[in-house]
Amino acid sequence: TPSRSSLACNMKLTLLIAFAMLAASSALSLRRRLLSGAKSYGPVCMSDSPVVAELLASAGYGHLVIDHEHGPTDSSSGQALLQAVDAAARLQGPSGDHPTEPIVRVPDHDAAYMKKVLDSMRLPGGVLVPMVEDAATAERAVAATRYPRQVDEPAESVDGVRGCAFPFVRASGYGTDPDYMARCREELLVMVQVESARGVESIPEIASVPGVDAVFLGPFDLSCSIGKAGRFDDREVRDLISAAERAVLESGDCMLAGFRSGGRGAMEMFDDGYSLVCGSVDLGLLRDAARRDLEEALGGVDP
């Protein structure tokens, strides 16, 4: 029989988890803020380092993309990064009442991998699905983020294929959040990434898929898809990016998001209609800081 002290300890732990989740949801989620017209800027974490993730999340960015596509991060190490971002919420930065929210870029639209990511993510947060080139892929991506429609949900709500283990996973506070399923519909930001000329042609159909909150543009990938990687001064590259932006904005169905491309600042992109912008990469920040340190310390002298 459990002792009185162990029962009290378990009760205290449950209350602490519930309080932390209540505090996290007391402010509007990133998804709700963006839908209300707010803007968000943040970096990408490719280092797979919880220390770096916590540091960046405590700096006051609106969001932090945790990259499972190009970096070494997987569903196991990714949970440690999510825990680090949550820990940083205790250190309020310039973002005020809105702690930095994690957005996980998954490797693809695979439902099994998405399930692992979402089961480890405490809301609010988001997911970014790469290489979406048509509406069918976007539909599969959205379905992977949703549970099957429940009998008490509206008939027009998005149906899904996500496996249900929420009473036992980190995402629901290990079963302490009775409203978790409802929060998934309201506080999970779902973005799909268009990275090719073919995908740009399909943006009107992709943007109309129920459950897609934003179309995210990868300008480097777009330029690479037409054989002109990184040539952002090239007329064809500029026209392709502009066509993609215009297609998203004219759809009226979802928000425009994306990476910064060469020569464009975040404020300029916000003025051009972007709701969410990603700029720096943690590895690039470290590389550039190391080079500056060496330059400043040695004054150009060969080490």
Block means of pLDDT (10 residues each) for the chain, 303 residues, are: 53 44 60 96 97 95 97 95 92 65 97 97 97 97 94 85 92 94 94 97 97 97 96 96 97 94 90 96 96 89 64
Which residues fall within 8 angstroms of residue 215, CB to CB, at 6 or more apart?
Answer: 191, 192, 193, 194, 203, 206, 207, 248, 251, 254, 255, 256, 257
Concatenated DSSP letters of 219-262: HHHHHHHTT-TT-TTSHHHHHHHHHHHHHHHHH-SSEEEEE--T
Is the pTM value of this prediction over 0.95?
no
Check 68, 70, 98, 109 and give the catalytic one: 70
pLDDT recorded at residue 96:
53
pLDDT recorded at residue 4:
56
pLDDT recorded at residue 2:
52
pLDDT recorded at residue 15:
40
**Is residue 98 annotated as part of the catalytic site, yes or no?**
no
pLDDT recorded at residue 1:
52
Distance of CA 129 to the CA centre of its chain: 9
pLDDT recorded at residue 95:
46
The helix/strand/coil state of 211 is coil
Strand-pair partners of 274: 256
pLDDT recorded at residue 3:
57
